[in-house]
């Protein structure tokens, strides 16, 4: 697989990473054996960057990855995240003691002495970005992480943190149905030499085959709360998406591969992290780095899914509380 640099001074990793959120059961039940097969299939396909977090299944995702690391001896670049707190008075916590303790727990579950990348899963508004960067710098100096990242932040938070200690990567939601990072964040990452890591690049499954169907969602899963999947919005979104699926098929690509190819085409510093809990699903998008979009492809995609086409917000009000808004 083609590679890209994880930040100006970071390692080279595969152009596509693997998002490991679903190993924690957020999209429905899964098994350790199934997750282990998915990790092995991703590795064999050339994916060298696995992205997880301490809250994915309350540590389950990290534990499964740790089991896989021990059983295979492979050494991919691991990114993990922390910041969410059980304290109802402080939902997001970027204080030094909290981040270090959470990182130590992640390292134990993963069975490693350091990770390549450690993100502040959200920016705590009570902690200045400069102080957060100082905390991360100390974790780098302690040898616990090679670099640090920020997630769901604004361009100004990136700039303030980067001025104290260079940021390796920024991770925000970005796809053909969520385009806010184009309003300055992707550009600032490029200017500063920071990797931009789009999460949910397949838009919560709507670019999958078959397309995600809200009627089939488990009542307990979080997508049932996303406005774009609600009855007043979904029919409009489905119509647009069906046209994109048809176009992908007409030029010989899966919709997932084409959606990821579009992201990779947006800049050489973008490293999308599609996720799946089943090894067979990888085949739908592994070809994305090999797809060279033509000018006609770009024009047709813009016609089918123009900026702002999606009906409804990407989060409900409660989900959006911890996201930095800048437009």
The residues assigned a catalytic role are 56
Q: How far is residue 151's CA from residue 169's CA, in Å, rounded to a whole number?
A: 9
CB contact burial 166-187 (16+ within 10 A = b; e otherwise): bbbbbbbbbbbbbbbbeeebbe
Query: 186 Cβ partners below 8 Å, 6+ apart?
Result: 174, 196, 266, 267, 270
DSSP of 83-109: -B-S-TT-SB---HHHHHHHHHHHHHH
Residue with tokens 């100096």: 141
CB atoms within 10 A of CB 45: 15
Asked whether 199 and 52 are in contact (CB, 8 A), the reply is: no
Structure tokens at 310: 């999606």
The torsion angle over the Cα atoms of residues 219, 225, 229 and 232, rounded to 10 degrees, is 110
Q: In sequence order, what are the residues at sequence separation of 6 or more whose Cβ sits closer than 8 angstroms to the Cβ of residue 34?
A: 277, 278, 279
Residue count (the chain): 327
Give yes or no for a contact between 308 and 179, defined as CB atoms under 8 angstroms apart. Answer: yes
Bridge pairing between strands 145-151 and 18-19: unpaired
Nearest alpha-carbon partner for 261 in 293, 283, 284: 293
H or E segment and range at residue 79: strand 77-82
Judged by phi (left if over 0) then psi (alpha if -120 to 50, else beta), residue 50 lies in beta
CA distances from 306 to 155, 223, 245, 247, 300 (A): 23, 23, 15, 14, 9
């Amino acid at each position: 697989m083609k590679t890209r640099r994880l930040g100006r001074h970071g390692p080279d990793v595969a152009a596509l990473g693997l998002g490991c959120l679903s190993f924690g059961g957020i999209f429905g039940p899964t098994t350790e054996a199934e997750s282990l097969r998915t990790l092995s299939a991703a590795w064999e396909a050339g994916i060298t960057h696995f992205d997880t977090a301490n809250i994915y299944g309350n540590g389950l995702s990290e534990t499964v990855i740790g089991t896989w690391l021990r059983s295979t001896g492979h050494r991919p670049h691991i990114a993990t995240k922390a910041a969410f707190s059980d304290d109802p008075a402080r939902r997001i916590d970027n204080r030094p003691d909290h981040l270090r303790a959470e990182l130590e727990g992640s390292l134990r579950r993963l069975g490693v002495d350091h990770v390549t990348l450690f993100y502040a899963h959200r920016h705590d508004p009570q902690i200045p970005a400069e102080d957060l960067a100082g905390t991360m710098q100390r974790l780098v100096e302690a040898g616990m992480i090679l670099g640090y990242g920020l997630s769901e932040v604004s361009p100004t938070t990136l700039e303030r943190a980067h001025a104290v200690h260079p940021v390796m990567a920024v991770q925000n939601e970005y796809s053909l149905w969520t385009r806010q990072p184009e309003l300055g964040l992707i550009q600032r990452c490029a200017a500063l030499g920071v990797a931009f890591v789009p999460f949910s690049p397949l838009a919560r499954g709507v670019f999958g085959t078959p397309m995600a169907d809200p009627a089939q969602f488990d009542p307990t899963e979080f997508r049932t709360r996303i406005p774009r999947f609600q009855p007043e919005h979904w029919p409009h979104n489905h119509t647009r998406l069906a046209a994109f699926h048809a176009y992908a098929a007409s030029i010989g690509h899966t919709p997932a591969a084409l959606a990821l190819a579009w992201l990779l085409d947006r800049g050489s510093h973008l490293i999308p992290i599609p996720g799946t809990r089943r090894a067979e699903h990888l085949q739908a998008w592994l070809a994305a780095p090999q797809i060279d979009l033509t000018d006609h492809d770009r024009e047709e995609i813009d016609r089918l899914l123009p900026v702002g086409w999606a009906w409804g917000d990407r989060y409900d009000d409660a989900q959006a509380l911890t996201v930095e808004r800048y437009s």
